[in-house]
Every structure is written in structure tokens, then in C-alpha cells.
Chain A
Amino acid sequence: MNLRGVGVSPGIGHGPSYVLTVSVPEPPEGATYTGEAEQEKERAMAALTQVAGELEARGNQAGGEAEEILKAQALMAEDPGLVVKVRSLIDRGLAAPRAVFEAFTKYRDVLAGSGGYLGERAAELGDIRDRVIALLNGQAMPGLPVAPAEPYVLVARDLAPADTALLSRDDVVAFVTEEGGPTSHTAIMARSMGLPAVVACPGATRIPRGVQVMVDGTSGEVRVEPAESDVADAVGAATARQAALASWSGPGVTADGHAVPLLANVGGPAELDAAVAAGAEGVGLYRTEFLFLDRAEPPSAEEQERAYRAAVEAFPGGPVVVRTLDGGADKPLAFLPASPEANPALGERGLRRFARYPEVMDVQLDALAAVGGVRVMAPMVATAEEAAWFARECGDKGLTDVGVMIEIPSAALRAHDLLDLVDFVSIGTNDLSQYTFAADRQLGAMSALHDPWQPALLDLVATTARAAARAGKPCGICGEAAADPGLACVLTGLGATSLSMAPSALAAVRAGLAAHTLEQCRDAAEAARTGSSSADARALARAHLPGLDRLGL
């Protein structure tokens, strides 16, 4: 049995499974109590207080991040609004367990309805509720094995901080959960413990208890009862990879000395430290919309200046490429409203939306001009007219290094026209895939079409890079494609002049590049384009990149 979820903490972990099933049945609807209301209320309050106390105690024991999370949960268990609700439900005749169930569910639904961060907190509330009800019913909460014979793979529907707080790094080798996302507690805990984790993995709790499981926290693959040789291979590869990667540092360069600056994609000042620590040479994509998301008003010129200046100061010698506000579609912005669209990804987003709000644009371009030393580029440019318009607007503000993103096939096909008007281009491979394959990025069912090895995508990259080389202007890549060490070599071979990626991907890409000459990269690129499928393209390219296997990449 092989399962697949989302890898949220890299590495390979294998061991026997321990499936944590916490099943607290819903107390029957309309359940009543015998005796006095006051007594029933006291019983409920005592349970809430006890659970709060346990959470607090576990927090003190755990320390660190877990302590903060558990203490916040302790506050939830004794929340005054919740307490009032429980008491009034008991006054209306409901038994304590049912009253607790209904009160928690009401709050949980409010948080779940908000989605995102609050939605994930809703799962915690469900966990606290189950603890209180279990206590009221005299039911024991299933715990984790104490001092197991060998470290295990912890499998659960979802893990609450209360479950994971006291876990020892020595007892667990990996986490797998059916639910949760990249910002769920499971993911955060796993990363802070340095353990591999896969979340959003359907079917995980059907893994039989005690069978061998191998978890790949990078690919998201979960293999049940894998062959011993497969485990040895995966572990060997992971170990070799780590050793190899640790031995490379410095700027991105091929084995024969062709420099390919390795840059970081960042969403705000908070991510700069990680980029510097990972050895990024600059910022290849500053996603400024993250400064604007979830706000009623756009950030002030001063706040924007601070955010942009922080990047320039973090990379004094390196480029900082700032993308202007990319709102719309999956990134709605309250202060840039648009009429409802049936297909927002094909609608007024990116530069199209930005252009409709000159007051917001003026503030951002002014802030960028005031900081100086940044390159500025526009998202979602389809035509030369749009590129010309953007270049003019930036020029009026005194910005001198102006580019556009290539993420629409029309822009890639006519890159030479765009390059006459701007100083550089940067290929956003994620959206370029979406628009080339007419496949929604947000649909899991479309994921095969978003394989960045798709030959059609490589063709568009090649067309763009060739136009840039002829114009003598830089052509960067920012998108998931650049984070794949093999593909990074291919992109270099196609003519990309810099590669920008999540900081965590830098080490592998740096090592992969350094293991090959520019000639090998070009051969790999040419070979990849002769493939008729993404699997073909990958295999054909890798035949020219022998260093990848040596590095375990």
C-alpha cells in the first residue's frame, strides 16, 4: 500500500506504525441528567478546570513553542464565554457531556468557518472538547507508548499539540496525518523537531498498527511495508544527499565556472534571515502581495519602504527583484475590489488589477524608488503594450531596472518584443504551467499537468531564454521548477541567468549545479526537449547529469 500526502518536513523516516485513534463518541442529542442543575454544572466546571490544568502542566513540562500553544489551549478550556454557554445549556436540561459538546461545537464552527489559520485552531478546539467529554464519561484518553522498543512512525487523523508536546525525538521517526496543512501544528512541530512529516494524506489511519512504514517528508510519499532494499536505498540516498549538500557553499556556479546566481523567493522581511542563512545571493522574487494580504487598507509608504529596504540591507551585494502587487484570483485584496468573475485566474489579476488602482500603484512604486537599488517587475504581463506601459510608469518614478514576469504563454512566445521594452524578464513557472496547460493550480486533480518537466513548459522557457540572450538581457527563473536540482541544471542549459527558489531548496540546487559543466547542462536541456512526456524529459535529461545520482539528488 502506498499513500501520498503533502510533505511538510523533509527527510526519510521509517519504522513500525503507531496509529493514534482518539475516538470520543458524541454524547447523545438531548441527553439529560438526574439531580440538581447546580451539581451538574459543578461537574462540568470541574472537568473543564481539570483539562485546563493538565494542558497547562503539559505545557510547563514541554517548554518552548509547545508551551505557548498548550497554555493558549488551557485558556480556551476555561474560556468565560464557553463557560457561560455550558452553564446555560445545563440549565436548559442538557447533561454535562452534551452541554460541553454543544458549547465547544458552536465555537469550533465559528473558527472553522473562517478557514486558514483559524480553521486549523478549530481542530484544537475539537481536541479539547473530546478531552473534557472523555473525562466526564470516565473514559481514558488513549496516550502514546512510553519508552517504545523501537522508534515508531506516528499516524493520526490529526495531531493536537497536547498529543505531541511530550514526544521525544528518540521515540518517533516521522509523522503522518490524514488532515492538516503546511501550517498545521503537526507540520510546525515536525519541523522544529527535525522529523520528516507528511500531512493531508488520505487513508493514513487505515494503516495497520505495527507494520513497517517509510515516510518521505520531501515527496509526500508514504509506503506501507516497503521492501527492505527500498528502505536501504532511500535512507542511503538521504544520508548521501545530506553529506554532499553540506560540503557545498558559496555562490551558484557550474563545474566549469559559469555563474548562475542562486536567489531566494521571499514574502516579507520575516523570511530574509532564512534566505541569508541558506546562502542565497539575493532575492529573485519578493512577493509583495504578502505585505498586503488580509488587510483592510494597503500598507503605508513608510511601512512598504521599511519592508523593501530590509531586503536590500540583507543582501548588500546581491540583486533584489521586487514583484509589484499581484492581487486577484487566489490572492484577493480587500482594497482592490473587483466585480465577481467566473474564472478569476483568467480575469483581472496581477498587473491588470494593479493598473486599475493608480493610487495603490503610486504608493508602491514611490516606496520602491525611495529605497533604490531594487529591480522591479510586473506580474501577469500578456503583451508588449502592457510591458511598455509598466516600463513607462516605472520610468516616471525614476526606477531604472524594470522587468516583467513571463507567466502567460503569449508573453513567452513574444518575449523578444517584451525584451525590447524592459531590462530583464523572470519566468514564473507555476503560473506559466497553469496557463500553458489550462489547468487550475489549486486543483489537486490537475497536479500531473503541473509537473515542471513538461516538455511544452521547457519549450516556452527555451523561447524566452533565447530571446533574452539575443537581447543581452537577464532571464531569471522563479517558481517551483528552479527548486528541482535536475531541472535547475536544465534551466541553466536553456539559458536561465539566475534561479530563485524557496531558501530550503538552495543547498541541493547549488550542489547539483556545481557537479556539472555548462556543456552538460546544455546537453541535458536539449535531451529533455526531445522527450514527449514529463517522465521522458526527466529521464533523458538525467542521463546527461550523472552527478545527480552521485549526490543522491
Chain B
Amino acid sequence: MGERKVTVAAEVGLHARPAATFVQRAKLAPMDISVQKPHGGGPVNGKSILAIMALDVRQGETVVISAEGEGSEEVLDELAKIASTP
């Protein structure tokens, strides 16, 4: 299982446009994507904008993005980049 630990850089956190961009990309991936706060509850579906929003990730907070399967490394790199874009 691949993982990326990312600090969210956007001022609005993982909400609004950053969340939408993230989910749009995640939805294109064939495998499941999960997102988790290191000290939060269980992982949530990275393709669900409502779940990502409810996770309430603020600027400067860290999330762990996970995916498994063929092509997952590339997907994770792209998602990590989106999450860490200011």
C-alpha cells in the first residue's frame, strides 16, 4: 500500500477549490483512494468531496493519502502535489 504524508498548504485548507481539484483527480483513478488525518478518526474516501470537507483539514495540517495497485504511485504523487499546493 502506497502512502504520502502531506502538509496542506492552501490558505483555505483542504476545502473549496483545493478539495474539488483533489477529488476531481482522485475520481479519475481506478483504485480506491483514502485520506486520513494522522491523529484523527478512520480514513475517508478520497473520491468523496463531502467526506473530505467533513475531515476539515486546515492549512498547515498533515494528511496521509493512501492507494494501492497499478499506477497508484503516480496517482499518489499527483494528489500529494495538489494537497501541498498553496
Contacts and interface: CB of A to CB of B under 8 A. Distances in A.
B11 A82 contact: no
A75 B60 contact: no
Interface residues of A, number: 24
B38 to A, nearest CB: 10
Interface band, chain B: 20 to 34
A295 B61 contact: yes
Contact of A118 (B39, B47, B51, B53): B53
Given A111-B54, A296-B61, A68 B47 contact: no
Contacts of B17: 68, 72
B85 interface: no
B49 interface: yes
Looking at chain A's contact residues, the main secondary structure is helix
Interface in B16-42: 16-17, 19-20, 23-24, 39
Interface string A260-303: 00000000001000000000000000000000001110010001
A270 B45 contact: no
B50 A114 contact: no
Interface string B2-19: 000000000110011101
A295 B58 contact: yes
A75 B53 contact: no
Contacts of B16: 68-69, 72
A303 B59 CA distance: 12
A296 B18 CA distance: 20
B19 to A, nearest CB: 7
Interface string A79-117: 111100000000000000000000000010011001001
Interface of B: 11-12, 15-17, 19-20, 23-24, 39, 45, 47-51, 53-54, 56, 58, 60-61
Interface of A: 68-69, 71-72, 75-76, 79-82, 107, 110-111, 114, 117-118, 121, 125, 270, 294-296, 299, 303
8 contacts: A72-B17, A72-B20, A75-B23, A76-B50, A107-B50, A107-B54, A111-B50, A118-B53
